[in-house]
Amino acid sequence: MNLRQLSYFIAVAEHRSIVKAAQLLHISQPSVSTQIKLLEEELEVQLFERRPEGTILTLEGKEFLGYARSALDTLDAAKANLRSRQVTEVGTVAVGIPGSLSPLLTLLLIEQVRARCPNIKIKVETGLSGHLANWIIDGSIDFGLVYSSSAMVGLDIELLMTEQLFLAVHEENAGPVRDMCVDGNISFANLQHIPLVMPSREHGLRALVEKVSSSIGVRLDVRTELDAHELLLECVLRSTDATILSLAALRNSRIPESAIFAAHIIDPVIERRICVAYASDRPLTRTARRVEMILRELLKTESKGGWWRFTSINE
């Protein structure tokens, strides 16, 4: 039994004529007769009787007509539903973006989703990378960007890009740091001579910096711990302390870039991995995939803008 046989059967039933059905379907009369015969053989019942008034449904044919129409209606509804999804996505998507990337990406993402997918409602959560990972796992958000150097239980993680970190200090206090720099670069070993304000050890950035520090035997002078990302640069401006951050965080602060001196950290560089993360046991919906694609595009565009130096997109 196939869709063609059901279509031929319904046409004959509605027009009470194999000839008329064949004309309507733009096929030969023998083709219609053959398919009806095959259908009757499979069902093991007679579907039509030939009478002077036309080709009439038997009792079994009348019963089967309802099933045939229902089957075709269901398939038509499925096609319409799937095709509509090709045109527009509908629903709510919750996205997580780390604090250091949120000023750069959040408003751009909202604007792009509104312009390109007006039927999608978007919710953006910001926070520490570890918190975002937990929110993805428990279903509070659909997916998010996380900083990750290794696999995380309960999450599927895909590398999007890498970025290298910088030392940032108030321009007015930058003299000693400038003296340690060569061509805008500062050796990691020299960081031990600079007072720092940094997030606590629970923060992914701090953990990454401490890992590099330990690997080369350098002890950092972290005088202040501050987990409020938006206040790190404020603290730098109000003290002689420096901090370690990404260019994305520096670019999107409310502080003029001219007020901050930033030096690229080398020997070794501090490289951070920006990944997109999903719950391993919960595939993304088509709507969420659409938002995720837009977020990927924004990251790629910003990375190629010239200002975000020492980044690499994972193509």
Q: Which CATH number covers residue 26?
A: 1.10.10.10
Residue 239 is assigned to a structural domain of this protein: yes
Same-domain pairing of 284 and 156: yes
Q: Which two tokens stand for residue 13?
A: 């039933």
281 and 265 fall within a common domain: no
Task: Please give the C-alpha separations between residue 261 and each of 65, 123, 229, in angstroms, as whole numbers.
Answer: 79, 35, 18
- Domain harbouring 241, CATH code: 3.40.190.290
pLDDT score recorded for residue 210: 94
In-domain check, residue 28: yes
Match 């009787």 to its residue by tokens. Answer: 49
User: In angstroms, what is the C-alpha Rg of the chain?
Assistant: 32
Which among 235, 241, 228 is positioned nearest to 200, based on CA atoms? 228
Q: Which amino acid is at 268?
A: P
Instruction: Give the closest residue to 164 by CA, choosing from 307, 270, 244, 250.
Output: 270
pLDDT tens-digit profile, the chain (315 residues)? 888 889 898 999 998 998 888 888 888 888 889 999 998 999 999 999 988 888 999 999 899 988 988 888 888 888 776 665 555 678 999 999 998 899 899 999 999 999 999 999 999 999 888 889 999 999 999 999 999 867 778 899 999 999 999 999 999 999 999 999 999 999 999 999 999 999 988 888 999 999 999 999 999 999 999 988 778 889 999 999 999 999 998 886 678 888 999 999 999 999 999 999 999 988 899 899 999 999 999 999 999 888 999 999 887
CATH number, domain containing residue 150: 3.40.190.10
Q: Report the b/e string of 241-259 with b at 16+ CB within 10 A.
A: bbbbbbbbbbebbeeeeee
Task: Please enumerate, as own/partner, the contacts of 298-303 that have beta carbons within 8 Å and a separation of 24 or more.
Answer: 298/105, 298/108, 298/109, 298/112, 299/105, 299/160, 299/161, 299/274, 300/161, 302/104, 302/105, 302/248, 303/161
- In-domain check, residue 194: yes
Where does a domain end: 87, 112, 129? 87
Assigned domain for 283 exists: yes
Closest CA relative to residue 94, chosen from 132, 129, 130: 132
The reply to whether 171 and 224 lie within a common domain is yes
13 with 41, same domain: the answer is: yes
Checking DSSP bridges between strand 120-127 and strand 143-147, what pairing results, if any? unpaired
- Single residue among 62, 87, 112 that ends a domain in this structure: 87
DSSP state of 251: H
Please tell me whether residues 153 and 105 are part of one structural domain.
yes
Amino acid 312 reads S
CA 112 to chain centre: 13
- Show which of 58, 87, 116 is a domain's final residue: 87
Do 153 and 95 fall within a single domain?
yes
C-alpha torsion angle, residues 213, 310, 170, 105 (rounded to 10): -110
Q: Give the pLDDT confidence score for residue 168 in this predicted structure.
A: 96
Is residue 306 helix, strand or coil?
Answer: coil
Q: What is the pLDDT of residue 219?
A: 95
Provide the domain limits for residue 189. Answer: 166-269
Are residues 172 and 254 both part of a single domain? yes
Q: Residue 59 domain-assigned?
A: yes
Tell whether 235 and 257 lie within a shared domain.
Answer: yes
Q: Are residues 182 and 55 in the same domain?
A: no
**Per-residue tokens: 221:** 């002078």
What separation in angstroms does the CA of 250 have from each of 12, 67, 210, 229, 270? 73, 66, 21, 11, 16
In a domain, residue 315? The reply is no
Instruction: Give the DSSP per-residue string, 62-95.
Output: HHHHHHHHHHHHHHHHHHHHHHHHHH---EEEEE
Do 151 and 283 lie in a common domain? yes
Count of domains in the chain?
Answer: 3
User: What is the per-residue pLDDT for 114?
Assistant: 95
Residue type, 190: N
For residue 88, the model assigns a pLDDT of 64
- 178 and 254 within one domain: yes
Q: How far is CA 1 from the centre of its chain?
A: 42
Q: Are residues 182 and 255 in the same domain?
A: yes
